[in-house]
Amino acid sequence: MADLTYDPDLHGELFSAYLDGQLTPDEVTIVSELLDGDEDAIREFVALRNVRTSLRMLPEFEVPAALLPDGHLGDRLSAYLDGELVTLEHRRVTKHLVECSECRAELQELDRARIAVRSLPGVETTMTQEIAATPRRHRRRRIVAGGIGAAAAAALVVGLAVGGGDEPVLVLNDLATQHMARASAEPGFAVLPSAIEVAAP
Amino acid sequence: MIVRRILTVGGLVAVFAISAVGPALADDLADYLADASDAVYSGSRVVGTTWDGIESIGIVEVQHLGGMATVDSGTSNAIVGEGRLRLAGPSEAALLFVGATQFDLDDRYAISTGETTEHLGRPTRVLEVTEAGFLRMRLVVDNSTSAPMATEVYAGDGSVFRYSTMIQFSVSVDPDMAMTDEHPYEMMLPVEEAVLPIDAAGYQLVDVYAGPQGANQAFYTDGLFSFSVFTTDGRVNWETTLDDDLPYDTDGFSYTRVINPASLWVTWNAPGTAIALVGDLPPDHLEQVLAELPRPGTNGWMTRMWNRLFG
């Protein structure tokens, strides 16, 4: 049985500090004695713990960038580079980056610093084999072109075979350009390699 | 601004009615695509396509900002995105497409997150897009920007059909990258046209436009891949006018194809109509689509004579 009697004014702060792990060994002994049979102390302690648990369970709301004192991203750039932002916040940060050259410059500096750190001796990186995963087999014929100029290899004026020389012509590059412009309105355009192929002159 | 008014109200209604029948959105994949569309980055990208053992490769410099991308090959420069494209150089083009631009992803695709990895020393994650349990696309995505660092598109036989890999990457972009473009664009508005099927092997006919030189452009997408079918009256002697064209035989019909690093072109003549298909769809999808479009062939002798005599 505890020799101490629970006094809210005297011991309330002890419980809070106990839950925060901030007590000295002597203070921990006092809390242990209070919780050893004092129903008022136990009730108060359980209530306090439940409140703290409930607070931790509340959703976290980020302050929109526009409401920050200077309207910039600050420390969230670091979280952005770490891939730690949740979807909504990620989009908010990205939207701000699109509009704010100052934050883009800061992000670039931060990224450079991180790359420099990662490139230091002793800093492990595990490069993937993505490039090696590209196909190397069944190569009967290889067409290597300098970028989108590859499309120009087939960029020929195609005349209609019927009707004589005054007939309208089809230029395949024009068709490809027109398709690309329309396709760029679709969501898949952001990830498919076609996003980079535009008809060359 | 040059505006081509080629639209009837009825046409618009028809076009949007077509687009409204799109299948349900695959939320996770749509979320990622939205993030990728907004990504801010620049770098160099290698892109290649391998089809029937034929490989076509290209390298480009890319900057991506606010849904728009600048693409520079050293010989040409373009800015493209959100239905807008401006191509600089001798064959300048500036096109702006409006209309049905929010086509939902087909529910035939599912996405799953794979291993955490690194690409070019950057933390990345792997996303796998499957179609009826079959791996259709594998993406390596930059954790911070959501940029696609590497992409592999798989053909029906499980081989890599198309791939792209960033070989240089930065979160920086040129401050002068055009966000406000005052250049006049030719606004493309949909026309009423329904001679082609509204569904071709799971691809929806979203809208139809007046194409170059009197051709019509029918745009199809399944939300991930897309292609346009250009049609014009008459016949085109494709074989004698294309470089790097190759025969392509499927289902007993003969076509002509051109394989580019990031797209394929298939051309043929159907009775009374010359057709060119331009898109990024994988070859097994292509075969299924071609089966739904007019097949190669010629008008019969009697038909040709009748047309010649009586129009």
Which among A149, A156, A182 is the nearest to B241, CB-wise?
Answer: A156
CB contact under 8 A, A143 and B163: no
- What confidence score (pLDDT) does residue A144 get? 35
> Tokens 């240089």 sit at which residue?
B168
HSE, CB side, 13 Å, CA atoms: give it for residue B118.
11
Taking CB atoms and an 8 Å cutoff, what residues of chain A touch B76? 148-149, 198-201
Which among A131, A154, A185 is the nearest to B265, CB-wise?
Answer: A154
Tell me how close the Cα of A68 comes to any Cα of chain B, in angstroms: 21
β-sheet with B253-259: strand ranges across? B199-200, B203-210, B216-221, B226-233, B273-279, B264-270, B253-259, B245-250
Long-range contacts of B12-18 (CB under 8 A, 24+ apart): B12/B99, B12/B189, B12/B190, B14/B192, B14/B194, B15/B99, B15/B100, B15/B190, B15/B192, B15/B206, B15/B207, B15/B208, B16/B99, B16/B100, B18/B100, B18/B198, B18/B204, B18/B205, B18/B206, B18/B207
Tell me how close the Cα of B135 comes to any Cα of chain A, in angstroms: 15
Q: Model confidence at A157, in pLDDT bands (50, 70, 90)? A: very low
Q: How do residues B139-166 score in pLDDT, each as one tens digit?
A: 999 999 999 999 999 999 999 999 999 9
Least confident of A186-195, B115-124, B249-258: A186-195
Q: Is the confidence at residue B227, as pLDDT, over 80?
A: yes
Distance CA B225, CA B165 (A): 18
Tell me how close the Cα of B82 comes to any Cα of chain A, in angstroms: 4
CB contact under 8 A, B33 and A187: yes
- What confidence score (pLDDT) does residue B267 get? 93
Which among A83, A163, A196 is the nearest to B144, CB-wise?
Answer: A83
Check if the beta carbon of residue B103 is closer than 8 Å to that of residue B19: yes
- What confidence score (pLDDT) does residue B125 get? 92
Least confident of A113-122, B10-19, B261-270: B10-19
Interface test with A, best of B32, B47, B191, B233 (most A CBs within 10 A): B47
Interface test with A, best of B68, B144, B264 (most A CBs within 10 A): B144
Look at residue A104 and give its three-state secondary structure.
helix
Taking CB atoms and an 8 Å cutoff, what residues of chain A touch B96? 181
Comparing A139 with B160, the larger pLDDT belongs to B160
- What confidence score (pLDDT) does residue B120 get? 93
CB contact under 8 A, B54 and A140: yes
CB contact under 8 A, A145 and B121: no
Taking CB atoms and an 8 Å cutoff, what residues of chain B touch A174? 91, 93, 212-213
Give the mean pLDDT of B217-242. Answer: 86
Q: Which residues pair with B227 in a beta bridge?
A: B220, B279
Distance CA B299, CA B311 (A): 14
Residues in chain B: 311
Domain at B189-310, CATH from 1.10.3470, 3.40.1000, 1.10.10, 1.10.1740: 3.40.1000
CB contact under 8 A, A193 and B47: yes
Comparing B299 with B273, the larger pLDDT belongs to B273
Residue A58 CA, distance from chain mean position: 22
- What confidence score (pLDDT) does residue B305 get? 57
Distance CA B75, CA A148 (A): 8
Residue A192 tokens read as 């498919």
Residue A94 tokens read as 């990205």
Distance CA B73, CA A200 (A): 9
Taking CB atoms and an 8 Å cutoff, what residues of chain A touch B58? 145-150, 196-197
Taking CB atoms and an 8 Å cutoff, what residues of chain B touch A139? 50, 53, 55
Q: How are beta strands B203-210 and B216-221 bridged, if at all?
A: antiparallel
Which among B137, B171, B213 is the nearest to A170, CB-wise?
Answer: B213
Distance CA B62, CA B70 (A): 6
Tell me how close the Cα of B262 comes to any Cα of chain A, in angstroms: 5
Check if the beta carbon of residue B124 is closer than 8 Å to that of residue A81: no
Residue B20 tokens read as 């409204």
Give the domain ranges of chain B. Answer: 189-310
Chains A–B, number of C-beta pairs less than 8 Å apart: 371
Percent of residues, chain A, with pLDDT higher than 70: 60
Interface test with B, best of A107, A144, A175 (most B CBs within 10 A): A175
Residue A170 tokens read as 């089809």
CB contact under 8 A, A91 and B90: no
Q: How do residues A100-114 score in pLDDT, each as one tens digit?
A: 878 888 887 888 787
What residues have CB less than 8 Å from B50, skipping those under 6 apart? A135, A138, A139, B159, B160, B161, B162
Taking CB atoms and an 8 Å cutoff, what residues of chain A touch B60? 147-148, 196
Distance CA B286, CA B302 (A): 32
Taking CB atoms and an 8 Å cutoff, what residues of chain A touch B103? 186-187
Look at residue B165 and give its three-state secondary structure.
strand
Distance CA A187, CA A181 (A): 13
CB contact under 8 A, A104 and B40: yes
Q: Is the confidence at residue B275, as pLDDT, over 80?
A: yes
Kindly report the CA angle at B221 between B218 and B225, in degrees rounded to 5? Answer: 125
Helical packing angle, A8-19 and A25-34, nearest 10°: 120
* First-residue to last-residue Cα distance in chain B: 38
Tell me how close the Cα of B208 comes to any Cα of chain A, in angstroms: 10
Taking CB atoms and an 8 Å cutoff, what residues of chain A touch B152? 133
CB contact under 8 A, B163 and A133: yes
What residues have CB less than 8 Å from A13, skipping those under 6 apart? none
Q: How do residues B178-224 score in pLDDT, each as one tens digit?
A: 555 677 888 887 887 668 999 999 998 988 988 777 789 999 998 88
Helical packing angle, A87-99 and A101-118, nearest 10°: 110
Which among A130, A135, A158 is the nearest to B140, CB-wise?
Answer: A130
Q: Model confidence at A163, in pLDDT bands (50, 70, 90)? A: very low
Q: How are beta strands B253-259 and A157-159 bridged, if at all?
A: unpaired
The dihedral over CA atoms of B204, B210, B214, B218, expressed in degrees to the nearest 10, equals 0
- What confidence score (pLDDT) does residue A3 get? 64
Taking CB atoms and an 8 Å cutoff, what residues of chain A touch B173? 104
Kindly report the CA angle at B164 between B162 and B165, in degrees rounded to 5? Answer: 150
